[in-house]
C-alpha cells in the first residue's frame, strides 16, 4: 500500500478547523488589568504614552472595575499615585493611602467576585524614585527596605487585598512578607512575586503613569534582574518559590518568553507574565502610523505569552480583549 501523505495544511483550511485544533486558547479570565489610581484629582487623567489608559480617581476606578467585571474580567492589580512623596514611601503603608482606600472600595463593591491585587513596592511613593530605602552611599539598602515591604503588605491585606505583588526585587522579600502576613493572621492572602523582573528599557510609559523618575540619574540595575541572564532568572524564581510565593511572575513578557517557558515547564506553581507598558505602547504607536494591524498584533502577542507557558497575563489590553470577545470580533 502507498505511504499516506502527511498534509498538515488539511487542518488549516478554514477558521472553524483552525479553532478546532488550536493548541493555545486565550480567555478573558486569564488576564489581569493593571489600573492606576491617583490621589488629589477630580476626574480621570489620560496617560499620553499609554493610549486608552487613565490615572483614575477613587470614584472612576470603582466604575472602571465594575465595567470590567461585567465584561468577564476576574482580576485587577492596583498601582497608586500619591499626592506627596517622601524618602521612605510612607504612602505605600499608610492605612489611608490611595491604594488602601481603593482596595476597601472595591472589596465593598464586588466582594470576592473579582480578585483585587495590589502592587507592593514603594517607588511610586518615594521622592527619589527607588524601590526602597536609599543609604548614605546612594544604594538601596536591601534589609532596611524589607521592613517597608512588610508594613505595606499588612496595610494592603487589612484593606482587603486578596493578593499582594512584591515588585522591588529585594533579596528575601517574599519570606519577610509571608512571615508578616501569617503572624498578623492574614494567612489567606496570596503572594504573586515579581520573581524575575528584568532591568528593562520597556518601562518608560509606566513611569509616566506613576510619575516616577530616579533622582540624580541613577537606575535600578543593582537590584533588578540582568536582562542577559536566563539561568540567574531561574535561580531568582526558585528562591521566591522556596520562600512561599504562591504565584511567580516574569516581567517583561515578550523578550523573555524563554524564561517563561523554562520556568513553567518545571514548576508546579502558577506562572504569570507582565506584558508591560512599552510592549503595549509600541503596538499603538506602530498601528497609529498604519504600519501594523494593532488588534491582530495585540492578540498575537498575548497568545504567544500564553503559549510560552504563562497561566496569567497582566496586560493593558485586558479591556480591549474582553470587549472584543463580547462583540465577537475575537474568539476566546
Positions marked catalytic: 197, 251
Closest by CA to 85, choosing from 147, 138, 38, 139, is 38
Residues paired with 274 in a beta bridge: 314
- Report d(CA 166, CA 153) in Å as an integer: 9
Instruction: Work out whether the CA dihedral 314, 319, 321, 326 comes out positive or negative.
Output: positive
Residue position matching grid coordinates 498575537: 300
| Residue 183, C-beta contacts closer than 8 angstroms, at least 6 positions apart | none
- Residue 187 CB-density burial (10 A; 0-12 exposed, 13-18 middle, 19+ buried): exposed
Residues paired with 273 in a beta bridge: 250, 313
Amino acid at each position: 500500500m502507498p505511504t499516506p501523505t502527511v498534509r498538515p495544511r488539511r487542518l488549516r483550511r478554514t477558521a472553524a478547523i483552525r479553532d478546532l485544533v488550536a493548541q493555545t486558547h486565550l480567555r478573558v479570565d486569564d488576564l489581569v488589568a493593571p489600573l492606576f489610581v491617583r490621589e488629589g484629582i477630580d476626574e480621570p487623567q489620560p496617560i499620553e504614552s499609554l493610549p486608552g489608559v487613565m490615572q483614575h480617581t477613587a470614584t472612576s476606578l470603582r466604575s472602571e472595575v465594575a465595567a470590567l467585571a461585567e465584561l468577564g474580567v476576574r482580576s485587577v492589580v492596583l498601582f497608586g499615585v500619591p499626592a506627596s512623596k517622601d524618602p521612605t514611601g510612607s504612602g505605600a503603608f499608610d492605612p489611608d493611602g490611595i491604594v488602601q482606600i481603593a482596595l476597601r472600595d472595591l472589596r465593598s463593591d464586588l466582594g470576592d467576585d473579582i480578585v483585587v491585587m495590589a502592587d507592593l513596592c514603594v517607588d511610586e511613593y518615594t521622592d527619589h524614585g527607588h524601590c526602597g530605602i536609599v543609604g548614605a552611599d546612594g544604594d538601596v539598602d536591601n534589609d532596611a527596605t524589607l521592613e517597608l515591604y512588610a508594613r505595606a503588605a499588612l496595610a494592603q491585606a487589612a484593606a482587603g487585598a486578596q493578593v499582594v505583588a512584591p515588585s522591588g526585587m529585594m533579596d528575601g522579600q517574599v519570606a519577610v512578607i509571608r512571615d508578616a502576613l501569617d503572624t498578623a493572621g492574614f494567612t489567606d492572602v496570596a503572594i504573586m512575586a515579581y520573581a524575575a523582573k528584568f532591568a528593562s528599557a520597556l518601562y518608560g510609559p509606566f513611569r509616566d503613569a506613576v510619575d516616577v523618575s530616579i533622582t540624580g540619574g541613577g537606575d535600578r540595575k543593582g537590584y533588578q534582574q540582568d536582562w542577559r541572564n536566563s539561568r540567574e532568572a531561574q535561580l531568582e524564581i526558585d528562591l521566591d518559590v522556596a520562600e512561599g510565593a504562591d504565584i511567580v511572575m516574569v516581567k517583561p513578557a515578550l523578550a523573555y518568553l524563554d524564561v517563561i517557558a523554562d520556568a513553567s515547564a518545571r514548576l508546579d506553581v502558577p506562572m504569570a507574565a507582565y506584558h508591560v507598558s512599552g510592549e503595549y505602547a509600541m503596538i499603538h504607536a506602530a498601528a497609529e502610523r498604519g504600519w501594523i494591524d494593532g488588534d491582530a498584533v495585540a492578540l498575537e502577542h498575548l497568545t504567544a505569552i500564553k503559549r510560552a507557558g504563562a497561566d496569567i497575563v497582566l496586560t493593558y489590553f485586558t479591556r480591549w480583549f474582553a470587549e472584543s470577545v463580547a462583540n465577537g470580533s475575537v474568539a476566546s
